[in-house]
Every structure is written in structure tokens, then in C-alpha cells.
Structure 1
Amino acid sequence: MFKPTVGPIIGHTTTNHARIFVRGAAQKSAPVFAGIRYRQSGHEQWLKTNFARLTSLQDISEVIVLDNLMADTEYEYQAGWFSTTSAGHTMDSLQELPLQWPQELYRLRTRSSTFSMPRAYFVGSCRYLRMTAGIPSAPQLGDRIFASIAKLAQQADPPVSAMLMTGDQIYVDDLNFFAPDREYQQILAKYRAAFSQPHISRFMANVSTYMILDDHEIEDNWPDKKRSGDDILYNNAISAYEIYQASHSPVFELLDDGRISRHPKHYWYQFTDGDIEWFVTDSRTQRNLSADDRRILDVEQEHALCQWLIHSPARVKLVVTSVMFFPDAKNNGDDAWAGFPGQRLRLLETIRSHRLKNVIFVAGDVHASMTSRLTHSEDPDFEVHTIVSSPLCNSKLLPYASQSSFILDRPLARTAAGEYRQELTGKVISQDNFAHLVIDAKRIRVNYHDRDGKLLQSTDIELR
């Protein structure tokens, strides 16, 4: 067996199952398979080996599901791929092959079903990796921060449940003014390069990652700058996104036979970790830019989000939106929620009218990191927070944002019932960074670290 060409990537993980992405390599006409075997950490006996056929339809990749796992348990696993001379192999006959597994040993931890336990997460976005003639230019610049993230994950207490990658995991349009990538194979090559760098590869093989796209997975400010002929670009970009980012998320339905469906109805999704729940929105692909019904979320998604906010019993509700919910940017703010004030106000009024507590919006995009709070002039019970983390690796072509980049000196919105007033709750960080969130019974501690792992700032959000 050979080491995966991309992966393994641990995706959606629950108390009893985990999804792991693995890519091999095409072997002319020979069938190609991937395999994962696993056991509880500290045990010698392998519990099971799962195999999957790899085809060109998924760029020689597949998501293998490990099922019937025990809650709050650490497992170790090995992953690899191989080809055979026989096209007639079944999943049962593959079990009989004398395979020599790659030496690398990885670990995953299932979720705990205990509600009172503290949880921890990483958040990051905007990881720039320039490609020149199909080859990454100085890839270590976009990879080194993951060495620091992985080191912190190994030391973290409580253990880190997952990393939320909130957009711009790749830049399809990194050479937009010269020769932007538009072809399917070019975009696939970007994903292979971005996800196979040594530090991010090692990290994603040991910690669950949840991803959502933003504009640079397609084109800058998509769809505002959409031109004639861009439908082909969109289809190519979305097909690649489904393979490398959506496939291991909860977007794809888990079938009775242990495989996952390949027909997602949408790209937004939810997942639960004890008494903490996440709603990861798709704030990019379903926008309506018409003047009479501007929407950053489509009708179905807005309804699902509101119903989840109102009816979910979760103690803490975190809403991921790849673009800023608030505060608004002075320049190009209309690409974020500032350009969709009616829909944003409906969400805020839903939260306020139902007296919902501990709602946190998590975002990226702006090449700066910050925490901020929104209150209401006439309703002392209303309070909403944002946590923003960006970028993991900036391009020298783009400036970092600073405090002066945002509108902070006037209300976010006004209604007959009062004003929504915003304020920063910490400094704006203008350098490469990632966020480490620790959620316990009383607070969310937001720790921002630089690319070398040094603590830059720590802010507490008190839970109510």
C-alpha cells in the first residue's frame, strides 16, 4: 500500500462515527482502492478494515466512514491506497489480501456525550497558497502556521474537538489579473497542492475539520463580478469543492450501507458537540442580488437557521458565516452582511424577540481578527457576539485590515424599537493568526495566536 496522495482528512465526527477522506493515484486501467484500519489507542488488535473503490469521478478519492465507534474514545488508524490486477474484487475479498500498510499512525477522538464537559475548537480562514505554472510558490509560507496549530492541539486541555475553516481554503483566482484558473483540472491541482503540504496534512489527519467555502473558492466577490461564460468556472469550482471540502462534512447523507450519498441538496449544515451546536451557513452560492429581494442566504436556509435558533436546546449556538456579520467594513462592505441589511435585521429581530441567549457569529474573510459585541438601546437582555479569525496566511498583494477599516462610530441598525449598537471587545489583530476557543460552563475564552503559536490576545465572552 502507498501513503495517500492527499489525506487522510478527518471530517465530521460524532459520538459513534467518523468520516475520513483519502486520495490515491490513477493507475491507467487498473482498479484502485483505499483502505483504513483502526483500533482503540493502546490496543494491539485491529478492530476492522474498511475499503473503498477510488474513481476519476471523485479525483481518485473517497470518504470512508468508520462506524459503531465508542463515545469519547481515542482511536488510532492507518490509511493507504493500492491497485490490483483484478477488476473482480469485492469488499470481502479485499480483506484477504496480504497488504503492507504505510507506517504512519494517526489518531482521532470521538465526541463525548457528556454535556457538562468543556470543549475546544480552532477557527481560521484565508490561507493563501500561490500557484505558478501549476506549482506552489513558497508553499511553506502557507503551511507553517499549521505546525503551530498542531503543536497546540497536542498540548490542549480540554482536547480540541475540531477546526472550523470558514472560507478561502484555496484561492482559485490568485492570479486573477494575469491568468486565473478556470479549468477543472487546474482547480483540482490547487486542492491537491493546498491539502498535501506536510503540516496541514498531518494536522487534518489527527483533528476533525469542518469547512465552508467563500468567494475565492470560485472568484473574488462572487457572484457580484460574474461575467458571461462564468457558469463553466462555477461548475468546475463547485465540483472540486464538493470533492475536497464538502465530501467529509455533514452535507452528504450517511446511507444505510455505511457509504455517503453524492447528491447534496445544499452546502449549509449543522453539527452537535454535547450542549454546543454549530450552524455552518453557505453565505456565498445562493445569493440574490436583485434590488427587490436582496439575500445573502436563500429562503430555505434563512428559515432553517431561524428555526434552529428558536428551537434548538443547545446551551451555546455558534453560527458560521464566511463573511462578516458585524461590524461592517468601510470598503467593499457590501460583499458581506452589510450589503444585505434587511436579512441581517430579520435575524437580529428573531434573536431579540425570542430572547435567545449565547448566540455567537463566527466569521473570517477580512484579513484581520477581532471579537465584538452587539447590544440594543431599549432591550438590556439582548446581546450577540462575533468571533472573527483571518488570515491563516496573507498574500503580499493584500493589506491587513485594522480597526480603522471598520465602521464603529454609529449603530449597526435602527428600528422603531431602538438601535443595535456595536463595540469591539478586544484589539483588532492585523497579522497571520488563528483562534483557539475554549467553551466551559461560564464563558467562551477566545485566544488568538500568531503563526508561530505565540499568544497575541485573550478575550472572555461571558455566557448567560
Structure 2
Amino acid sequence: MFKLSVGPIIGHTTTNHTRIFLRGNLKKNNPAFAGIRYRRAGDTDWSNSLFTALTPLRDMSNVIALNNLSSDTQYEYQAGWFTTGSATHSQETLKELPLQWPTEIYRFRTTSSQATTPRSYMVGSCRYLRMTLGIPSLPSKGDKIYSAVYRLAQKSSPPASAFIMTGDQVYVDDMNIVAPDREYKDILSKYRAAFSQPHIQELMASLPTYMILDDHEIEDNWPAKANNDTTLYRNAITAYEIYQASHSPVHELTPDGQPDRTLKHYWYQFSQGDLEWFVTDSRTRRNLSADDRRILDTEQEHSLLEWLINSPARVKFVVTSVMLYPDSKSQDNDAWKGFPEQRLRILETIRHNKIKNVVFITGDVHGSLTCRLRHSQDPDFEVHTLVSSPLCNSAWLPYAKASTFILDRPLMQTPTGDYHLQLTSAVVSQDNFAHMIVGTEQIQVDYYDPNGKVLQSAHIPLHNNLS
């Protein structure tokens, strides 16, 4: 067997289940397969091997789900790929092949079944990896921060449950002014390069990753500047589905326990104990028409509001790749500032239903901060946002500063009162990532630089009485 060309990537993981992305290579058009075997850490015997076919249709990649696992347990696994002379193999006949597994052993941990146990998460967005003639330029710069994320995840107490990646994991348009990529093969090449650098590969092989796209997975400020380039969109979104959506909860499981390839939308939900996440697609479902301007489509908004109202979760995290608040002073209207009616509907739903412990997780702006939102006539209303961006900035792009945002007047004014915001941290204006520890009384947020040094800390209070 050969070492994987991309991966393994640990995706959606629960108390008894995980999904693992694997990619091989095309070799003389021979039928290709990827395989996994696993065991509990400390055991000597491996499980029966699991295999999946690799085809050019999915860029020689696939996802294998492991089921019937034990909760809060560390597992070891090996993964690789190989070719055969026949494409008609079954799981049973593949098991009979004399395969020599790659020597590297990877590890992951399933989530705890204890509802109220503290949990921690790594959060980040906007990793710029410049490509020149198809080759990464200074790849170590774009990969360095993942080493710090990995080291912290390994020693985190409580153990890190996931890495939440809120957008711009890949810059399809990194050379947009000079030579924008729009061909499928070029976009796939960027994903392979971005996800196969040594530090991000080490991290994603062990820590469950949850991803959602933003504009640079397609084009800067898409769709406002789309120019009806359907070829670019089709190619970019197909690559996104292969490398980011494939191992996410958006794919339901078939009766045999493997991910169904049917894909209705990109937004999804997942839960861990008494914490729940709603990861929105705030990019591809936009409506820019003047009579019904919205950043989330009708179905997604309805699902989000229904979840906010009815979910019994103690803490509800809403991921949006662009900022809900504070608003930027810029005039591009790419974030929620440009969709005030829908933003107000969401905030008013939270306020009228007295929903507590709602935290918006976001990135995009190349600056990090925490911020609290309150209402002038409703002392019970309070929501928070945590912004983490960028993992690696481009030399061409500025960092956000406090002066970037509108902080001296209400976010929104309504007949029943005004929404006022207040920064609860300084604005980090350098490459960084966030470590979030969710306890019983508060969320501790620590921002780290690419060397693993703490830049600043903040705390988000939690309300224990949810009645």
C-alpha cells in the first residue's frame, strides 16, 4: 500500500462514529482503492480492514465511516491506498489481498457521552497559501500555525473536541488580479497542496474538523462580483464538495453505515453533549434582489430559527463565515451589515423567545475579537460573537483593527429599542487562532500566535438558568 496523497482527514465524529477522508492517486488507469484498519489505543489486534474505491470522479478520494465505536476513547488507525488488476473486488476479496500497510499510526478520540462535561474547540479561518505556477510559494509560512494548533490540541484539558474552520480554507483566487484560476484541474491542485502540507496534515489526521466555505473558495466577495461565470462556480463548488463537505455531517448515512453521496445543501448541525452547533452556509444561498435581500435562503433561515427556539442545548453556537456584528466601516456590504432585515429577524427571535447562551462563531475579517450585544429595553437579552481570523494572511491584505469597525453607535435601531454592542476583548491584528473552553459558568477564549504564544484572553459568561 502507498501513503495517502491527501489525508487522512478526520471529519464528523460522535460518541460512536467518525468519518475519514482519504486520497490516493491515478496510476496507469488501474482500479484503485483506499483502506483503513483501526483499534483501541493499547490493543494489539487490528479490526477487519475497510476499503473504498477511488475514482477520478472524486479526484481519487473517498470517505470511510467507522461505526460502533466506544465513547471518549482514543483509537489508533492506519490508512493507505493501492491499485489492483480488477475493479470488481468486494470488501471480502480485498481483505484477502496480501497488503502491507504504511507504517504510520494515526490517533483520534471519540467524544464524551457525558452531557455536561467541559469541552474545548480550536477555531480559525482564512489560511492563505499562495500558488505560483501550480506550486506553493513559501508553504512553510502558510502551514506553520497548524503546528501550534496541533501542539495545543494534544495537551488541551479538557481534550479538544474539534477544529472549527469557518471559511477560506483555500484561496482559489489567490492570484485573482494576475491570473485567476477557474479550471477544475487548477482548483483541485490548490486543495491538494493546501491540505497536504505537513503540519495541517498531522493536525487533521487526529482532530475532527468541521468546515464551511466562504468567498475565497470561489471568488472574492462572491456572488456580488460573480459576473455570471458559471464555469468557475461549478468547478470551485465541486472541489469544495470533495475536500470539505464530504466528511461533514451534511451527508446522512446509508443503511450500511457509510455516507450517502446525496447533497441537498451545505449547512448542517451537530451536537456534543449539551452543546449544539448550527453551521450556516452564508455564501452560496444568497439572494441579492432588492425585494427579498437575504444572506440565508428561506429554508435555511427557517431551520435556524426553529433550532434556536426548540433546541434544549445549554449553549448554542451559530457558525457564519461572515461577521454578524460588529459592522465594518467599509461599503462593500458583503457581511451581515448588507442584510439588515434578516439579521434583525434572527436577533428578534432570540430576544422574544428569551434564548440564552447563543454565541456566533465567525472569521473573514483578518482580525480577531469577542463582542457582546445587548438591547436598550430588554435587560435579559445578550448574545456574543467570537471572531477568529486569519490563520495566515496574504502580504497583499491588511489586518483588521478596532478602527475598522463601527463601535460608537447602535448596531440596529428599532421602534422597540436599540441593539448596542461592546467589545469584550482587544482586536488581534496578526495571524492567530482561538482556543475555546466551554465550562459550566463561562467560555474561556484564548488567542494564540503561530508560535503558540498567548496573545490575549477573554471570557464569555454563561447563564445556567435556561427557563
Normalised TM-score (structure 1):
0.99
Equivalent runs, 1:72-83 vs 2, <5 Å: 72-83=72-83
The code of the aligned residue for 2:8 comes to P
Deviation at 1:197, TM superposition (A): 0.1
Residue number in structure 2 paired with 1:138: 138
Structure 1 residues 378-424: Cα deviation after superposition (integer angstroms, max 9, x where no partner)? 10000000000000000000010100000000101111110000010
* Higher alpha-carbon deviation: 81-90 or 378-387: 81-90
CA distance in 1: counterparts of 2:460 and 2:57, whole angstroms: 45
The code of the aligned residue for 2:412 comes to A
CA distance in 2: counterparts of 1:431 and 1:59, whole angstroms: 35
Residue number in structure 2 paired with 1:431: 430
CA distance in 2: counterparts of 1:284 and 1:2, whole angstroms: 37
3-state SS in 2 of match to 1:335 = coil
CA distance in 1: counterparts of 2:179 and 2:314, whole angstroms: 48
CA distance in 2: counterparts of 1:288 and 1:61, whole angstroms: 33
3-state SS in 2 of match to 1:147 = helix
Residue number in structure 2 paired with 1:227: 227
Deviation at 1:115, TM superposition (A): 1.0
CA distance in 2: counterparts of 1:128 and 1:237, whole angstroms: 16
Contact 1:39 1:48 in 2 (8 A): no
Residue number in structure 2 paired with 1:211: 211
CA distance in 2: counterparts of 1:152 and 1:113, whole angstroms: 23
Identity of aligned residues (%): 65
The code of the aligned residue for 2:53 comes to R
CA distance in 2: counterparts of 1:401 and 1:314, whole angstroms: 33
3-state SS in 1 of match to 2:187 = helix
CA distance in 1: counterparts of 2:86 and 2:240, whole angstroms: 32
Equivalent runs, 1:17-32 vs 2, <5 Å: 17-32=17-32
Residue number in structure 2 paired with 1:365: 364
Deviation at 1:49, TM superposition (A): 1.3
Match status 1:415 vs 2:433: no
CA distance in 1: counterparts of 2:238 and 2:252, whole angstroms: 17
Equivalent runs, 1:51-450 vs 2, <5 Å: 51-228=51-228, 230-332=229-331, 334-450=333-449
The code of the aligned residue for 1:220 comes to D
CA distance in 2: counterparts of 1:174 and 1:155, whole angstroms: 34
Deviation at 1:198, TM superposition (A): 0.2
Q: In structure 2, do the counterparts of structure 1 residues 333 and 363 end up closer, same or farther at CA, with 3 Å as the change threshold?
A: farther
CA distance in 1: counterparts of 2:122 and 2:316, whole angstroms: 16
CA distance in 1: counterparts of 2:267 and 2:331, whole angstroms: 24
Structure 1 residues 413-463: Cα deviation after superposition (integer angstroms, max 9, x where no partner)? 111110000010010000000000000111100000001100011111110
Deviation at 1:166, TM superposition (A): 0.2
Q: In structure 2, do the counterparts of structure 1 residues 388 and 98 end up closer, same or farther at CA, with 3 Å as the change threshold?
A: same
CA distance in 1: counterparts of 2:363 and 2:345, whole angstroms: 22
Gaps of 5+ in 2: none
CA distance in 1: counterparts of 2:441 and 2:332, whole angstroms: 33
3-state SS in 1 of match to 2:49 = strand
The code of the aligned residue for 1:58 comes to R
The code of the aligned residue for 2:423 comes to L
Deviation at 1:316, TM superposition (A): 0.3
Contact 1:127 1:169 in 2 (8 A): yes
* Higher alpha-carbon deviation: 41-50 or 433-442: 41-50
The code of the aligned residue for 2:176 comes to N
Deviation at 1:111, TM superposition (A): 1.1
The code of the aligned residue for 1:297 comes to L
The code of the aligned residue for 2:262 comes to H
Normalised TM-score (structure 2):
0.98
Deviation at 1:89, TM superposition (A): 1.5
Aligned Cα RMSD in Å?
0.7
CA distance in 2: counterparts of 1:88 and 1:372, whole angstroms: 56
Number of matched pairs: 463
